[in-house]
Amino acid sequence: MKRFGTVILCLMMSVTFIAQNKAQNPGVLFEEGAFAQALAKAKNNKKGPKIIFMDCYTTWCGPCKYMSEKIFPQELVGKFYNTNFVNIKMDMEKGEGIELAKKYEISAYPTFLILDADGNEINRIVGMGDADTFIEKTKKAMDPANNPKALKAKFESYKNMENAITYLEALKASSLNKEADIFIEEIFSIMPPREKYSDKMWPYLSHSLQNANSNVFKMVLAEKPLADKIAYKERVDIAICSAIKNLIGNYTSGKIKEADHNAIMDQVNYLNLLSGNDETASYFVNAARFYGENDMDGVAGILKVDDIMRMGENNRNTIERLLTSVNGLPKDKVLEYFKAKQEYLKKQSEQISANIKRLSN
């Protein structure tokens, strides 16, 4: 009897400890152990939950830390996720997280996967949010009818603008940008002009236009007068110029293997025509020209502190990144620029100090 009483006492203490632990940690309770264990728990839960919520994070990700420190510890968040999911956290750069990142094609952080008990993706949520907003996003993502595959199937069964936008919204929310670009290309030639250049479609189309080698980019150029009329010339020009700048940046940094200099310069010359008052355009044009001619002295010649420092901060940073990353530019030329910039800023600081002293007297 004495032994039986001891067992009962231990069980009571264990239950009390668990209750105290939950009281001290009212937020989301994440499972310890391997991914397979979380799957097994979801599969074997008779009363549920039957699905998994996986926090895919990295140690350097600020928004990941925000969610872990500010959102998941909240009681209302814990109540929702602990009731509906088997929760697990995985560092995507360590251990089995590396393979999981590849398997689920995680490219942005934080990403939160909703999986069935077999590990099949139901949906995903990308990015941080406040407690109420994040819970609402999760509720929507829990419904298989709202996942990108289901929405793509819905579009295929009834190809209209509304279904196309709904699918693109789901892809954007999941940071599936490559899939969005592929879809835009698929539907671009069959969409009526007033739909494909509409305000609703433009955010997705303009993203696809960022690649000057894409078929969408070529199709827009082929019918640019029509695009200008419906989508407004100014924003079409801005999107095209941005794409050409991306092309030049990749070209001059050596990222484009076996590049055709003449074909790239054809695109570059288009930048001259459309750039208008863009003070960075001439730098991109000259950088491409000098790089194609293997003229590193020419590149160094436009890397001038006095000219670049007169620009606004965003433009200055853009040009610095472009020119200092030119493939083949000697390091001493880059070092020379930054030393000159340091001296320029020192003189500027001294001038400011002198003005403050003068006005204070």
Q: Which overall architecture, per CATH, does domain 23-143 show?
A: 3-Layer(aba) Sandwich (3.40)
The Cα angle at residue 177 between residues 172 and 180, in degrees rounded to 5: 80
- Please give the pLDDT value at position 11: 42
- Tokens 């990015």, residue? 127
Sheet containing 111-115, strands listed edge to edge, beginning at the edge strand earlier in sequence: 30-31, 85-91, 51-57, 111-115, 121-126
- Please give the pLDDT value at position 25: 63
- Please give the pLDDT value at position 18: 41
Catalytic residue among 10, 56, 61, 241: 61
- The answer for residues whose C-beta is within 8 angstroms of residue 79's C-beta and 6 or more apart is 26
What's the whole-model pTM score? 0.75
Q: What are the tens digits of pLDDT across the range 144-164?
A: 999 999 999 999 999 999 999
Helix axes 161-173, 148-157, angle to 10 degrees: 170
**pLDDT < 50: residue spans in the chain:** 1-23
- Please give the pLDDT value at position 24: 59
241 as an active site residue: the answer is no
Residues forming a β-bridge with 124: 113
According to DSSP, the β-strands at 111-115 and 121-126 are antiparallel
Helix (H, G, I), strand (E, B) or coil at 237: helix
- Please give the pLDDT value at position 20: 42
Average pLDDT, the chain: 89
For residues 217, 222, 224, 227, the Cα torsion angle rounded to the nearest 10 degrees is: -70
For residues 317, 322, 328, 332, the Cα torsion angle rounded to the nearest 10 degrees is: -20
**Calpha distance 179→162 (Å, rounded):** 18
Q: What are the tens digits of pLDDT across the range 66-120?
A: 999 999 999 999 999 999 999 999 999 999 999 999 999 998 999 999 999 999 9
Q: What are the tens digits of pLDDT across the range 38-61?
A: 999 999 988 889 999 999 999 999
Q: How many CB atoms lie within 10 A of CB 292?
A: 17
Catalytic residue among 10, 56, 64, 241: 64
**Calpha distance 282→271 (Å, rounded):** 9
**Calpha distance 96→91 (Å, rounded):** 8
- Please give the pLDDT value at position 354: 86
Largest CA distance in the chain: 95
- Tokens 């509304």, residue? 162
- Give me the count of residues in the chain: 361
**Calpha distance 178→210 (Å, rounded):** 12
